[in-house]
Amino acid sequence: MSFGQGGPPQQWDPWKPNSQQPWNSGGSGQSPDWAALADASEARAKRRRLLFIGGGALATVAIGTAVAVAVVSANDSGKASPGASSQLPGGSDVSLPSPTGTVPSFAPTSAPPPLDPKDFIASAQKDKAPLSPDLLFPGTQLTMGETVYKKGPTADTTNCASAAKATLPKVLTDNGCTRLIRVTYTEDKVAVTVGVAVFGTEAQATRAKQQADKRSIVKSLSGGGVKDFCVGAVCRSTTNSYGRYAYFTLAGFTDGKDVTTKDKTVFATGDDLQEFTFRQIRRRGEAQASAAANG
Closest C-alpha among 254, 253, 249 to residue 273:
249
Q: Is 57 exposed, middle or buried (0-12, 13-18, 19+ CB in 10 A)?
A: exposed
For position 115, what pLDDT does the model report?
Answer: 87
Write out pLDDT tens, residues 152-204: 999 999 999 999 999 999 999 999 999 999 999 999 999 999 999 999 999 99
CA distance 95 to 117: 52
- Residue 92, amino acid: S
Q: Where are the alpha helices (DSSP H) in the chain?
A: 34-76, 133-136, 168-174, 202-211, 264-294
What confidence category does residue 32 fall into, taking pLDDT thresholds of 50, 70 and 90?
Answer: low
- Topology of the domain comprising 132-285: Protein Transport Mog1p; Chain A (3.40.1000)
Range scoring the smallest mean pLDDT among 37-41, 69-73, 197-201, 282-286: 69-73
Q: Does an H or E element contain 117, and which? A: none
Residue pair 163/157 in contact by the 8 Å Cβ criterion? yes
Closest C-alpha among 169, 265, 257, 179 to residue 217:
169
For position 65, what pLDDT does the model report?
Answer: 47
Q: Give the domain ranges of the chain.
A: 132-285
Q: Is 37 exposed, middle or buried (0-12, 13-18, 19+ CB in 10 A)?
A: middle
Residue pair 247/194 in contact by the 8 Å Cβ criterion? yes
Write out pLDDT tens, residues 209-268: 999 999 999 999 999 999 999 999 999 999 999 999 999 999 999 999 999 999 999 999
Torsion-angle region of 185 (φ positive above 0: left; ψ -120 to 50: alpha; else: beta):
beta
Q: What is the mean pLDDT of the chain?
A: 79
The residues near 284 (Cβ < 8 Å, ≥ 6 apart) are: 120, 121, 127, 129, 131, 136
What confidence category does residue 109 fall into, taking pLDDT thresholds of 50, 70 and 90?
Answer: low
For position 69, what pLDDT does the model report?
Answer: 44
Instruction: State the average pLDDT over residues 81-96.
Output: 41
Whether pLDDT at 43 is above 70: no
> How are the residues of the chain apportioned to helix, strand and coil, as percentages rounded to the nearest 5?
35, 20, 45
Residue pair 246/208 in contact by the 8 Å Cβ criterion? yes
Distances (CA, A) of 83 to 73, 79, 109, 208: 19, 11, 40, 76
CA distance 215 to 197: 16
Cβ atoms within 10 Å of 197's Cβ, excluding its own: 29
Distances (CA, A) of 244 to 164, 205, 208: 18, 5, 10
For position 27, what pLDDT does the model report?
Answer: 45
